């Protein structure tokens, strides 16, 4: 069991401590990694010189190169990010994993918020289920990290979702080109969701989709007669797990492939995750995905 596994971090109750531990482990791994190109380009940096403000050091670049760099045009190169969090009832599901999909997603979101705050990049938060709910404007001040985490900690997944419609609404809300980080199980019509993602791309936004599923939703480990409940509608139905497994696994693969292919066509980063994946590996999966784009 790794130090950054969901099981280990579940023993830590404070979200800010979880985020710092995840980022620290990720940066330590990144320091020894061959990958480059994480969210920023070296053309936007210059070497640190004596007299420069140490607060402008880009610690992500340091982790990769063991050299100090500062952003060349700080005011022009700040990246505005928005954490867009799915609050629908299905995100509250877990089977045998220590964290629900929602708990896993907010740990990952908090970590990315902390990373951006370290770089003095503004970060905001938007939550949705069947409609857009909270909208916390992007800020770069240190205290804003606590504000975002406070909102994340108080949220509870419930109700149905309108993923495509809410993404379209988010596209109309954002006034400036931003990095949109979506955390969702994407349960719904892929065509409608991809249409919403297309609206965001049409607005010039860079988009990352963190597709979070419980491991049981991927593997379908059930046997015998099983009663399943739709977490958003409450509808219950019984199935024979053995007779249904092959069809289910095939459908899940088609579902994920539809998003993998659709996001690829839109130049949207698609990061499939399971709630058993260690968090540093989840961030590295994103890094590899970004590396392939540059």
The pLDDT profile of the chain, 294 residues, written as one tens digit per residue, is: 456 778 777 778 788 888 888 887 777 765 544 433 344 344 466 676 676 777 677 777 777 677 777 765 444 456 899 999 999 999 999 998 889 999 999 999 999 998 888 878 899 999 999 999 989 999 987 788 899 999 999 999 999 999 999 999 999 999 889 999 999 999 989 999 999 999 999 999 999 999 999 999 999 988 888 888 777 777 887 888 888 889 999 999 999 999 999 999 999 999 999 999 988 888 877 766 665 454
Mapped onto helix, strand or coil, the DSSP state of residue 124 is strand
Helices (H), 155-240: 163-173, 190-202, 215-219
Domains of the chain, by residue range, sit at 79-275
Helices (H), 32-180: 59-65, 74-77, 101-118, 142-154, 163-173
Beta strands 206-213 and 179-184: pairing type?
Answer: parallel
Mapped onto helix, strand or coil, the DSSP state of residue 212 is strand
Domain 79-275: state its class. alpha beta
**Contact (Cβ atoms closer than 8 angstroms) between residue 22 and residue 111:** yes
Owner of token pair 């964290």: 99
């Amino acid at each position: 069991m790794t130090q950054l596994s969901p099981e280990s971090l579940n023993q830590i109750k404070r979200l800010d401590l979880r985020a710092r531990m995840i980022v620290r482990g990720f940066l330590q791994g990144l320091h020894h990694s061959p990958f480059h190109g994480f969210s920023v380009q070296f053309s936007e940096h210059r070497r640190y010189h004596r007299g420069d403000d140490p607060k402008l050091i880009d610690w992500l670049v340091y982790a990769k190169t063991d050299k100090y760099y500062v952003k060349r045009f700080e005011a022009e190169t700040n990246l505005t990010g928005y954490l867009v969090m799915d609050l629908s009832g299905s995100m509250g599901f877990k089977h045998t994993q220590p964290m629900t999909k929602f708990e896993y997603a907010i740990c990952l979101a908090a970590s990315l918020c902390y990373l951006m705050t370290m770089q003095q990049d503004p970060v905001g938060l938007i939550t949705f289920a069947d409609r857009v709910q909270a909208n916390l404007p992007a800020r770069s001040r240190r205290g804003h990290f606590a504000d975002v985490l406070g909102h994340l900690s108080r949220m509870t997944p419930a109700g149905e979702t309108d993923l495509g419609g809410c993404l379209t609404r988010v596209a109309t809300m954002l006034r400036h080109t931003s990095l949109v980080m979506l955390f969702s199980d994407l349960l719904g019509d892929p065509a409608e969701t991809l249409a919403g993602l297309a609206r965001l791309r049409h607005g010039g936004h860079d988009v990352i989709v963190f597709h979070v599923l419980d491991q049981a939703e991927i593997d379908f480990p059930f046997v015998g007669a099983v009663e399943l409940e739709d977490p958003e509608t409450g509808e219950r139905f019984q199935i024979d797990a053995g007779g249904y497994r092959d069809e289910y696994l095939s459908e899940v693969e088609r579902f994920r492939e539809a998003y993998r292919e659709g996001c690829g066509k839109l130049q949207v980063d698609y990061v499939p995750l399971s709630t058993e994946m260690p968090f540093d590996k989840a961030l590295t999966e994103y890094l590899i995905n970004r590396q392939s784009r540059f």
